Chain A
Amino acid sequence: MSEIKLLGSAASPFVNRVQFVLNLKSMDYDFINENLTCKSELLLTSNPVLKKVPVLLHANKPPICESLIIIEYLDEIEPNIHKILPTDPSDRAYNRFWACYIDNKFAPLYLELSRAQGKDVKEALKHKIIKGSQLLEEAFVKFSKGEGYFGGHDIGYLDVVLGCYMGLTKIVEKGNEFKVFDEVRTPKLAEWVKRMWLHDVIKSNIPGEDILMNLLLLKCKSSRVS
């Protein structure tokens, strides 16, 4: 039995990103699977405010919720193994800014596109996603400083934040016949995607397409993204 328990659904990108960090830091944990169509008493009492996964339970402390907050917590309790966030305050501020952009502006476009009806609406959303990918390409160039990851020579905060959406990216691309990260338009990110898929920690934690399709269908039915 581990001191750390992660309450979540293997299909959720927000849960996956916490799993990336736990694995990168070689932290043992027990995974408690949650059925998002029928939330357990444990989830509802652990996260009564938002009722969402992931939730981290550590030792006898009360639960910690929200994936980005959990990641900062893990980075603070285990700073010596695979540091996720940089130490410089302006670098930290830029990392946090782009994490917010990815979660609040970029990734929600995937769900909007999946729900959209009509060719014009879909094309407009694809255009927004492409514009977003170009902003992310510029950010990648600045953060990576010529290395292979946002974190530099190894996986860092934004690799984890954006990386968890890679499975969904593939599905959205296939379903809409376009490339989000394209060799011509976003060459660095196109390479980054390939590099990430080869990384053991990443590929072992991103669920298969059928699981992700089910998640997307579930989200399309409900009005709130969680």
Chain B
Amino acid sequence: MVKEELILVNFWSSPFGCRVKIALEEKGIPYEYKEEDLFNKSPLLSTINPVYNKVPVLVHNGKSVCESLNIVEYIDEVWSDRSASFLPSDPYERSQARFWADFIDKELYEASRKIYRCKGEEQESGKKNVLRILKLVEGELGNKPFFGGDNLGFVDISLIPFYSRFYTWETFGKFSIEEECPILVSWAKRCSEKESVAKSLDDPIKIYDFIVYLNNYLTK
């Protein structure tokens, strides 16, 4: 068997990189991990992602794939024989999975930043927006065990990395996500029992400490 070169270039706390880790673990594919220092970006990053100079990047046999959801779909297509597909087989169901993953991608991270970067009205609006997004997504889950049905799917992989940040959002915003979205938090706990997720999710306290550190660093 030809040995494949597979490298994930990432920053440890990135929820976007976490998606890729989960996808690779789900498929059981060995890979090399390279940590990128986002405060001191390496020349490597600008060669493998010249357009954005951002992580995560997956380098597969010399070719770079960028943008986390794009990478997850790529992994799903290349290693389609390694596990059940992250996307449903029906085209309509696939379009719905893509829509929700895209919605989470476009809205959740930006909305959540206001909770820990801002104060007063800005922070309140971030909190309201995050809850709006989570409730909409919770509605889409319904009473399925996972968004993917019986197994982790594209939307599960897209969203679960943010579970590590719930503690940060709740602490800064002084609210409880479990009270507002109990079904979603049950889903998150269920996802966390999956080996691929347990191995990949960051410790919520470590994330919180890092965000506090970053806030102090940025205000200097």
Q: List chain A positions with a Cβ less than 8 A from chain B.
A: 49-50, 58, 61-62, 64-66, 69-70, 72-73, 76-77, 89-90, 92-94, 96-97, 100-101, 135
Contacts and interface: CB of A to CB of B under 8 A. Distances in A.
Secondary structure at chain A's binding surface: helix, strand, loop or mixed? Answer: helix
Contacts of B65: 90, 93-94, 97
Nearest to B105: A100
A72 B98 contact: yes
Interface residues of B, number: 22
Contacts of A90: 60, 63, 65, 74, 78
Nearest to A88: B77
B70 interface: yes
Nearest to B90: A76
Contacts of A96: 67, 70, 73
A39 to B, nearest CB: 18
Contacts, number: 58
A61 B92 contact: yes
Nearest to A138: B50
Nearest to A50: B103
B91 interface: yes
B143 interface: no
B218 interface: no
B68 to A, nearest CB: 11
B103 A49 contact: yes
A69 B102 contact: yes
Contacts of B67: 96-97, 100
B74 A93 contact: yes
Interface in B59-91: 60, 63, 65-67, 70-71, 73-74, 77-78, 91
Contact of B70 (A49, A64, A77, A97): A97
Given A49-B103, A66-B102, A97-B70, A73 B91 contact: yes
A45 to B, nearest CB: 15
